[in-house]
Each structure stands twice: as structure tokens, then as C-alpha cells.
Amino acid sequence: VDNCERCVSLNLSLSVSDMMEPADLLKILDFPSLPEGVTKTTGFCAHRKSTKGADVAYRVSKEAQLSAPTKQLYPADVFPEDFSILATVKPKKGSQSFLLSVYNEQGIQQLGVEVGRSPVFLYEDHMGKPSPEDYPLFRGLNLADGKWHRVAISVHKQSITIILDCKKKTSQKLSRSPHPIIDTKGIVVFGTRILDEEVFEVDLLCSPPPSRHPSMPCSLNYALWLEMT
């Protein structure tokens, strides 16, 4: 763990029912082929009892440019209104940058998860709501302290809830439209935003798909995923 200064263990799952298989973001972004800025390394555990040998991980540097069409992650015409994101992350100490961003066809950021000293959840629906000054800001939740953190984010109707390390629960208002629409004709960008200079440098654990039970975030010790409800 001491050698892992900039880490996030990652697997992204998008599903609308128990019958659907989760989408693997690492596979969609072509991590196995080791694109520029991505190298293979040892993961969180050098010796795990349940597997043979060490965890396999990918190290992502600032040279990486990782994106994919949103429809590859979620092929439906309309992005579900309510969803959850669960992650175990260890950002670079003192950093503040975007882990994940979703853009529409015109290049406007519709959704973003910014982790760091004060996490920010960016959300903008088809009506431009909420306005930037109303984006939920979670002060006092420092994710960039050089330690691993389990994070569960739940978006439901007009509220967003973050559960940190299975203990601290914080909810804020999400002033979006009654029936918000997120365009799926754009792209998903990992580790940064379009035109941003700050890049999220991380290690990514290559793990199996997580449990599909968002009510049990404490059991997910290696995954970043998105559950549509």
C-alpha cells in the first residue's frame, strides 16, 4: 500500500436490471492493450488468498487520453434518472481533479465526479439545471489525504447522498428538472475534463465485476461502478 501513492481501483458497471451484465469500463477504454499513458503494475494486494499471485492493475499517467462513446457503456436512448456510483479510491495527495465525466453531443459536460480535498458532483440536465453555483460541494470530505477511501454516491430524485468509508453519510439537494435527460450521444472521459490541465494520475485495479447490491457499499472494496435504478 505504501507504494501506491495515486490509486483508484476501478470497474464500471451500468445496468437496469439483474438480467443485464455490467459494462466494464476498463475493457471499453481498451486498457488491456496498454494505450499511451497506461502501464501494467501490481495492484492493491501483492498476495491475495482468493487468487493466484498479485492483483493486476493499470497505472494511468497524465499522458493518457481515455474516452469512449457513452452508448458503449449504456446503449439505451435515455440515461436513467436515478443511479449510484460506488468506488474505492486513493487520489494523489492534495489533488483535486475529475475522475469521470460525461459529455453530450455538443461537448457540454453533463455529469462529473470530482474527487479531492472537497468532492464536487457536477450535473447538468437538458434544461441546464442545476446551475454551476448549485452543484453539490461536499466540504469536510477529504479524499486526497493519501489514504484509501470507500465512496458511495447515490442520485435519487432531487437529492444526492455520499457515504464515505461506510460511516459518514452526507446528503445535499440536487436541483435538477423533474424529468432530467442526460444525452447518451456524447462521450465518457476518464481522469480529466476536456481542455482541463489537471489530470487524475492513478493506479487502476483490474478486478471482476462488483456486486449488484448498491445497498451494500461496504462489501465493495475494489470497484467503481454505476448502477441504474
- Name the helix (H) or strand (E) containing 25: helix 25-28
Tell me if 154 is assigned to some domain.
yes
Choose between 131 and 23: higher pLDDT. 131
Tell me if 72 is assigned to some domain.
yes
CA dist., res. 180 & res. 203, Å (int) = 33
Going by C-alpha positions, the residue among 198, 190, 202 that lies closest to residue 143 is: 202
In this structure, are strands 159-164 and 168-173 parallel, antiparallel, or unpaired?
antiparallel
Q: Find the domain containing 212 and state its range.
A: 7-228
Tell me if 2 is assigned to some domain.
no
Q: What is the pLDDT of residue 21?
A: 53
Tell me if 110 is assigned to some domain.
yes
Asked if residue 23 lies in contact with residue 212, where contact means CB atoms within 8 angstroms, the answer is no
pLDDT of 175 higher than 50: yes
pTM of the model: 0.76
Tell me if 86 is assigned to some domain.
yes
Number of structural domains the chain divides into = 1
Domain of 152, CATH number, reads 2.60.120.200
Tell me if 197 is assigned to some domain.
yes
Tell me if 1 is assigned to some domain.
no
DSSP 46: S
Distance from chain centroid for Cα 221: 14
How do residues 9-22 score in pLDDT, each as one tens digit? 444 444 444 444 55
Task: Give the angle subtended at the CA of 177 by the CAs of 175 and 179, to the nearest 5°.
Answer: 135
Asked if residue 217 lies in contact with residue 162, where contact means CB atoms within 8 angstroms, the answer is no
Distance from chain centroid for Cα 61: 17
Partnered with residue 172 across adjacent β-strands are 160
How do residues 22-81 score in pLDDT, each as one tens digit? 567 777 788 788 888 888 776 556 666 666 666 666 777 778 788 899 888 777 666 778
Query: pLDDT band for position 198 (50/70/90)?
Result: low
Cell of 117: 480535498
Q: What is the pLDDT of residue 55?
A: 61
